[in-house]
Amino acid sequence: MYWSKLFIPTLRETPAEAEVISHQLLLRGGYIRQLSAGIYSYLLPAQRSMLKITAIVREEMDRIGAQEFLLPALHPAEVWQESGRWELMGDNMFRLKDRNGRWLCLGMTHEEIMTVLARGELRSYKQLPQIWYQIQTKFRDEPRPKSGLMRVRQFTMKDSYSFDLDPAGLDAAYEKHRRAYERIFDRCGLEYLTVEAHSGAMGGSQSQEFMVASDAGEDLVARCKNCGYAANLEKATSVAQAPAAADPEGDLEPEEFHTPNRKTIAEVAEFTGLPESSQMKSLVLSAGDQRVLALLRGDHQLSETKFCTALGVKEFRPAHPEEIHQWMGADAGSLGPVGINDLRIVADEALRGRRNMIAGANRNDYHLRNVTPGEDFQPEYFDLRQAAAGDGCAHCGGTLELVKAVEIGHIFKLGYKYSESMGLRVLNEAGQEVTPIMGSYGIGLERILSTAIDLYHDKDGIVLPVPIAPFEVVITPVNTNDAGQKAAAGKLYGELKAAGLDVLFDDRDERPGVKFKDADLIGIPYRITVGKKLPQGLVEVVERKGKASVDVKVEEVAAFVAAKVGAAKA
RNA sequence: CGGGGCGUAGCGCAGCCUGGUAGCGCACCUGCCUUGGGCGCAGGGGGUCGGGCGUUCAAAUCGCCCCGCCCCGACCA
């Protein structure tokens, strides 16, 4: 393509609204323009990258025998009402009415639609297994779109769904996807983590997320550098660090003491001179019709997902101040488990075996010392604690670190949730009706582009991996008034195209500095500079990554670059 | 939905406090010049100052209301 004919609106300055690096560079590189919050137009460079990413995804999905469909983006409400998600999705779902007043929505995901297809058509175990996928625009009315293409209201997702006769079949489909995803992300040149994920209250037995470590990330991943264990913080298990001070010995009785205006763990620690880990943190929670007192070590945090899992509830909330006073007889800041009979008491495992700790006395401005679980109150023990940086790895004894990360893919054993609720049945070999088991697998395509830029950039701009760069090579004649350079560059353009390369010819009548800056900013992996060495029969090949430059004979350069590009895509 | 910030030319910003001719840099157009890292000189075009209402002889500037965008939090199959 001839650059002089293209619309690639690069920006010298960074637009004020862009905070994260990928957003800044996508705007500056002329990849995207915003239409509205979380809604973007993809210009030529972005579209070309997206098409390359899409092609890689398609190849790898086809390789595992998945079949590509394209499902509607516009769905009638009834389908979502059947699965119960019309209500569940709440304000995150875009809804609209047609001219007859019937409710429709824009698809956020396609489990329902796939299941409708399957139940209408699948009749026999002989038709299983199936893996169906699509590459579709999804719509989600995010409460807060942000970070360029990282969190948006309209985006492209590859989503696939597997249908199997039994759990062993699902295991196989899941495993195929795991390997396909690894190939996809490898081919896109990403450095990523595969982490255990929380599978929600959907009966899912297993779930993994593919994450790219990034400061722009919204998830936290606990990772052990020693053994490679990695899990979403929601789910991560760990070995708590030892309490900062040993518990007092002996079979001591709880003893009240005055703690005027000391409400927080930190204030009580300072007042008593004992570390936070010697205290019990008491949280009064309301989960459905249950009143719960959750106990943690003073320096630990409650994991909301673990709490829900432990109690088998979907959601909970902190009790209101009036409820706390009514249930506990005191206000937050002086709460503890001793003498509490009307609430369910759950304690984190880290409290098991502890003795003579500090807890609230359920009398304002008083605490108790010498509180011992199992003696002074009877808790049910669960893993309720959120893992923290510096905790021990539960698998190898190494040390866990926490990293921010962006989720780029998620594979998920759905189980029978949709097939059951929406009535998908097939006959098995014995002629009995059985419910197929499903899996669901997603990849956010824009996030591949965004995280790649996040991962690979320098002060001059984007440094995309060759397989997903909008162009593979740019030819830059330094002086367009030089007939020799112009002719040589034009001839080279033909040769590179003939060699099958994605080549851009910067034939613009611009100063060399402008062309170099633009090529760097957009992130074209190789640049062939046709300039002052041409009389010696030489041109320069500059690699965007690292800026290394080599002189190559004009007649050899097409093969030279083709070999480099070929190696990078292999 | 709570908290904060911003909205003036395509982009980055000043002007607003203290009301009176709308400005700077970059980009854009024309000409000359220049050609190895966002040249130089000269000339030029482009703005309902986010919108509405109000105060005033007079509003980008003061007041009220609304909208949009960004950030933090809440939320996030």
CATH number for A563? 3.40.50.800
Task: Identify the pLDDT of residue A200.
Answer: 53
User: In terms of DSSP H, where are the helices of A102-247?
Assistant: 111-121, 167-187
Q: Is residue A247 situated within a structural domain?
A: no
Question: Do A371 and A434 belong to one domain?
Answer: no
Task: Give the closest nucleotide to A11 (alpha carbon vs C1').
Answer: B11
Strand B, CB < 7 A, residues 246-275 of A: none
Q: Is residue A178 situated within a structural domain?
A: yes
**Local structure of A204: helix, strand or coil:** coil
Q: Is residue A464 situated within a structural domain?
A: no
Q: Which of A453, A481, A513 marks a domain boundary? A: A453
Question: Do A194 and A338 belong to one domain?
Answer: no
Q: Is residue A37 situated within a structural domain?
A: yes
Strand B, CB < 7 A, residues 118-157 of A: 140, 142-147, 157
Q: Is residue A43 situated within a structural domain?
A: yes
Mean pLDDT of A190-205: 74
- Give me the amino acid identity at A556: E
Mean pLDDT of A302-314: 83
Q: How far is the CA of A480 from the C1' of B42 (A)?
A: 24
Indicate if CB(A37) is under 7 A from strand B: yes
Higher pLDDT, A312 or A470: A470
Indicate if CB(A28) is under 7 A from strand B: yes
Q: How far is the CA of A469 from the C1' of B55 (A)?
A: 58
Question: Do A497 and A536 belong to one domain?
Answer: yes
For residue A363, report the phi and psi dihedrals to the nearest 5 degrees: -145, 125
Q: Is residue A32 situated within a structural domain?
A: yes
Q: How far is the CA of A511 from the C1' of B39 (A)?
A: 8
Q: How far is the CA of A284 from the C1' of B77 (A)?
A: 29
Q: How far is the CA of A42 from the C1' of B51 (A)?
A: 29
Query: Which residues constitute the domain of residue A262?
Result: 255-382
Whether the pLDDT of residue A201 is over 60: the answer is no
Quick one: which H or E segment has residue A497? helix A483-498
Share of chain A above pLDDT 70, in %: 99
ipTM (interface pTM): 0.92
Indicate if CB(A376) is under 7 A from strand B: no
Question: Do A225 and A287 belong to one domain?
Answer: no
Q: How far apart are the C-alpha atoms of A356 and A359, rounded to whole Å?
A: 9
Q: How far is the CA of A510 from the C1' of B30 (A)?
A: 17
* CATH code for the domain of A220: 3.30.930.10
Task: Give the closest nucleotide to A480 (alpha carbon vs C1').
Answer: B35
Q: Which of A421, A453, A485 marks a domain boundary? A: A453
Q: Is residue A506 situated within a structural domain?
A: yes
**C-alpha distance across the termini of chain A, in Å:** 24
pLDDT digits (tens, 9 = 90+) for A70-88: 999 999 999 999 998 998 8
Question: Do A110 and A227 belong to one domain?
Answer: yes
A146 close to A34: Cβ distance less than 8 angstroms: no
Whether the pLDDT of residue A105 is over 90: the answer is yes
Mean pLDDT of A440-467: 96
**Number of domains forming the structure of chain A:** 3
- Give me the amino acid identity at A525: P
List Cβ neighbours of A91 (8 Å cut-off, separation of 6 or more): A141, A143
Task: Identify the pLDDT of residue A189.
Answer: 96
Give the count of beta carbons closer than 10 Å to the beta carbon of residue A383: 16
Q: How far is the CA of A510 from the C1' of B29 (A)?
A: 16
Q: Which of A259-268, A310-319, A514-523, A546-555 has the lowest mean pLDDT?
A: A310-319
Q: How far apart are the C-alpha atoms of A542 and A549, rounded to whole Å?
A: 4
pLDDT digits (tens, 9 = 90+) for A399-410: 999 999 999 999
CA distances from A420 to A133, A187, A423 (A): 21, 37, 5
Question: Do A513 and A444 belong to one domain?
Answer: no
For residue A301, report the phi and psi dihedrals to the nearest 5 degrees: -110, 145
- pLDDT interval class at A114 (50, 70, 90): very high
Q: From the C1' of B25, which residue's alpha carbon is nearest?
A: A13
Strand B, CB < 7 A, residues 476-535 of A: 478-481, 509, 511-514, 516-518, 520-521, 529, 531-533
Question: Do A45 and A124 belong to one domain?
Answer: yes
Question: Do A206 and A262 belong to one domain?
Answer: no
Task: Identify the pLDDT of residue A202.
Answer: 47
Q: How far is the CA of A11 from the C1' of B16 (A)?
A: 29
Q: Of the candidates A451, A382, A383, A445, which has an alpha carbon nearest to the alpha carbon of residue A158? A: A445
Q: Convert A41-54 into a string of H (helix), E (strand) and C (coil).
A: EECHHHHHHHHHHH
Mean pLDDT of A539-550: 96
Question: Do A271 and A196 belong to one domain?
Answer: no
Q: Of the candidates A442, A402, A421, which has an alpha carbon nearest to the alpha carbon of residue A207? A: A442
Strand B, CB < 7 A, residues 151-180 of A: 157, 159
Whether the pLDDT of residue A314 is over 70: the answer is yes
Mean pLDDT of A26-48: 93
Q: How far apart are the C-alpha atoms of A25 and A474, rounded to whole Å?
A: 19
Q: Which of A382, A417, A444 marks a domain boundary? A: A382
Q: What is the per-residue DSSP string for A437-488?
A: EEEEEEEEHHHHHHHHHHHSEETTEE---GGGSS-SEEEEES-TT-HHHHHH
Give me chain A's average pLDDT, please.
92
Q: Which of A69-73, A140-144, A492-496 has the lowest mean pLDDT?
A: A140-144
Question: Do A137 and A186 belong to one domain?
Answer: yes
Question: Do A436 and A475 belong to one domain?
Answer: no
Mean pLDDT of A141-161: 93
Q: How far is the CA of A342 from the C1' of B50 (A)?
A: 57
Quick one: tokens of A123? 């009749």
Q: How far is the CA of A11 from the C1' of B23 (A)?
A: 23
Task: Give the closest nucleotide to A146 (alpha carbon vs C1').
Answer: B70
Mean pLDDT of A458-478: 96
Question: Do A200 and A172 belong to one domain?
Answer: yes
Q: Is residue A395 situated within a structural domain?
A: no
Give the position of tokens 């698998």: A395
- Give me the amino acid identity at A470: P
Whether the pLDDT of residue A199 is over 70: the answer is no
Quick one: tokens of A480? 């367009």
* CATH code for the domain of A353: 3.90.960.10
Strand B, CB < 7 A, residues 197-226 of A: 200, 202, 218
Task: Identify the pLDDT of residue A204.
Answer: 59
Whether the pLDDT of residue A344 is over 70: the answer is yes
Task: Identify the pLDDT of residue A127.
Answer: 97
* Total-model pTM: 0.91
Mean pLDDT of A506-518: 94
Residue A260 preceded by cis peptide, ω within 30: no
Task: Give the closest nucleotide to A481 (alpha carbon vs C1').
Answer: B35
- Give me the amino acid identity at A389: A
Strand B, CB < 7 A, residues 380-439 of A: 410, 412
Task: Identify the pLDDT of residue A506.
Answer: 95
Q: Which nucleotides of B are covered by protein (CB under 7 A)?
A: 1, 6, 11-13, 25-27, 34-39, 68-77
Task: Give the closest nucleotide to A92 (alpha carbon vs C1').
Answer: B76
